[in-house]
Amino acid sequence: MIKKIRPYLFLILNIILCVIIVSIIAIYPPPQTAASIIPVDGAKFKQADWETQDCLGVQCQLCPFRCFLPEGSRGICRVRMNVGGRLKTLVYAQPVSVHIDPIEKKPVYHMLPASRIFSIATVGCNLRCSFCQNWEISQCNPEEAKTAGRIMTPEQVVDAAIENNCSSIAYTYSEPIVFYEYVLDIARLAKQRGLKNVLVSAGYINREPLIKLAPYFDVIKIDLKGFNEQFYRKVVGGDLKYVLAALKELHRLGVLTEVVNLVVPSLNDDMGEIAGMCKWIHDNMGTDTPLFFSRFTPQYKLGNLPATPIETLEKARKIAMDAGLRYVYIGNVPGHPGESTYCPSCGKMLVHRYGYAILENNIKKGRCVFCGKEIPGIWD
């Protein structure tokens, strides 16, 4: 009997194996092969940091995906590639977005209110958020960018920031982790020239690269996109645990960190999860951690969803304040009282905001002018 069914068992096992392989590829697609898209000229690209090598290819150690790349392949970020057996960055000194913004637009609320910040980005991202507001550049290949070929060296970036009376530089819009080498070189030079640095990131980075980067930054703003692993995997394309690890590391390093949670209706607006997130921030990062609940507006792949009700944001803010967090904000709702900063001691309004405008600032030398309470941040 066994001899009769043995050939069929072998066939069934092969079918099961094929189904498993196809499923794995569907969930974790292999890196895109780029040899036929970009000329493989090793001199054209800059050597990237955080690689390990073996005879079959290179492995990128920058972020938790740790993409293994055979010759001519790119990582999930689209901008790091095996060229000639070495890991190369395809976007060094090639920004696709350069703007001068009010610092409140980042949003960063605890550094130099009303100052101008020089904002820069290349293409690429190591996540796949369905609600990305800058998907045209974050989900783009370098050769597809409208400004492909434009060069702006770190020295030119810093010079432009100073010439335009900016107090700081923001690495933003897409995901600055994936243009790590460019960020690091600019940030070092900016620090030497007296500018401040702001990293606006999803925090999807390994510990060692983060430790090397952090000393050059005055503020790091992390998008904590939810507090549910399933949400992160399905909607964001990553794992929550790595972002939480990065937040804990930033707190250990003593970097001023502001956290933003974009509240998306029906996906991450469960008040129980929000309460869990607020408790985690309180316990692991401290009561003075600035936390934003920002309003979602329909875009990219989630154009079918409604905008976040303001009442939802207000409930989330109350939960956070009840959890003991002192600086909790409502974002993307111009004119809402939750945009402003209040003294946790006397309760008076310290920084009165309306959208990106500062109407009043009652913080002097880092303290409340009414009661003298020290307010965490960089104010002068």
Q: Are the CB atoms for 341 and 350 separated by under 8 Å?
A: yes
Q: Are the CB atoms for 177 and 205 separated by under 8 Å?
A: yes
Per-residue b or e along 123-160, where b marks 16 or more CB atoms closer than 10 Å to that residue's CB = bbbbbebbbbebbbbbbbbbeebeeeeeebebeebbeb
- The residue with greater pLDDT, 230 or 19, is 230
Per-residue tokens: 309: 């009700």
Which residue, 220, 268, 218, is CA-closest to 240? Answer: 268
- pLDDT tens, position by position, 122-142: 999 999 999 999 999 999 999
- pLDDT tens, position by position, 27-43: 444 444 333 334 434 44
Amino acid letter for position 108: V
377: left (phi over 0), alpha (psi -120 to 50) or beta: left
Average predicted confidence (pLDDT) for the chain:
91
For residue 14, is pLDDT > 70? Answer: no
Average the pLDDT over 200-223 and give the result: 98
Pairwise CA distance, residues 193 & 66, whole Å: 34
We find that the CATH architecture of domain 97-368 is: Alpha-Beta Barrel (3.20)
Domain-by-domain residue ranges, the chain? 97-368
Q: Phi first, then psi: what are they for 300, rounded to 5°?
A: 50, -120
pLDDT for 132 equals 96
- pLDDT tens, position by position, 143-162: 888 766 689 999 999 999 99
DSSP type of residue 30: P
Which residue, 196, 76, 51, 165, is CA-closest to 127? Answer: 76
pLDDT for 184 equals 98
- The DSSP-derived string for 27-52 is HSPPPPB-TTTS---TTTSEEPSSEE
Q: Are the CB atoms for 104 and 221 separated by under 8 Å?
A: no
Q: Are the CB atoms for 295 and 307 separated by under 8 Å?
A: yes
For residue 280, is pLDDT > 60? Answer: yes
- The residue with greater pLDDT, 48 or 22, is 48
